[in-house]
Chains A and B, each alone.
Chain A
């Protein structure tokens, strides 16, 4: 193939500068408007560019691209020049449209990511707003960056005052990364028991998250339960004791009556036997009370019974 690169590369050179005529200018102007109109749609733009390119190519003389000859007429050179100029502009337009499409795609991705993040944030806010536990996000100095409504309610600090609030003072009692109890004095008075969990964060300026709950009521409930369990044990013991005491006591009372009948005439011995019988009856009365308390089975009754003033035991059985 007898290629003549210099002629092909500068194929338009021998013909010099070629001015487009008025009809060409009008057509180019119309095409420009069309291209601008579809510049937002890369597919439509490329389709229109290819249509125009193809029609210009078809109008090109066959030998125009032949390196051996190049365009052989002024008209051919003019058309080749127009095609090359159009192609250069089309390529630039395509590149810009592609870049814009990439930007639009990236922007759409960013917007979608932002919407997702915003949705996640709203969900998190809703969850934090709904929970009873106080949640505080602290910076490295222990100052509050973020707080949920429960945190404001539990601390007794106004929600607007919480950001910047120094939480390090009361967090000292619970080690970083640890769980523990803290007795909180509310600004308005009163002491509450908190269960506090501290966990480290590695997100920007946030150093840790503190989750805390008022466990005062739960603590009291547990205490009450323990007390009731102790009372229940006492009731059981009383029940067993009553049963164990009753049998020998009945024997003591019965024998005392028999003995009293046999000892008639010996006044001193009779007094002693009567004292024994009186003591045994008091014990029997005590056992009956114990049985009543056990049957009622109420902690308050047991406590009242245990606290009740009774005749001194030392008197029982004294002659």
Chain B
């Protein structure tokens, strides 16, 4: 049974994940209708509490809530709480006093949604915390792979890029492994975190070996501004070594798909020709993101509220 909050994939069982994916598959149909709205969450209040700007994720959660007829409020906190001399818990208690039914939290520091979940009455959905977890992204990735491949058990999934700073990588490692896939990670040693193998993955610094025989190749966005010169010498060298293009992709399975959580640095993680067309499924990921987030909102706030 899925708990009150959705904080990370690490906390979910295989059955939980399958329940979420099946619920999302039922939600997909709503987005295809002419009138894209059902009354499921009518009268419920959803707050998107974003301490870190993320147009894509926030919009996806907003559309998801609106399609379920929830009242969606975006609460963006641009500066960190410390500079305002207001603590995180102050912010949480303020929101709580407005009686929301679900709070979607994004923060650049790991653990913030977890701390907020301890004090908020409303259930919390983690929309990304630091380099920790991004459960809705991983779930939409699993939904997309399941749609493409029909199953996840037995697949080989390779995640390429800045594993050390990536919440998407961690959540996907947990998720795909729980569903029976083999997960590999690849990147320069400066971007592979300490003891990553303990998460049950094999780590590679050679891209060709990492994607040899892979069914899914997932490229991560590189934070060029922050990391160039620190974790890799130049964007050019990164693109040459780890950037995916058709030539490198030959080593993966013939029917391998390419994924990316977006936004893509064109010509860096992905060559132009891969960003727009199959085998890339990037826009399917975005489309599935709405249905998946509808499923999460429904499961945490739509089953008769906190008593469910």
State yes or no: do A and B come from one complex: no
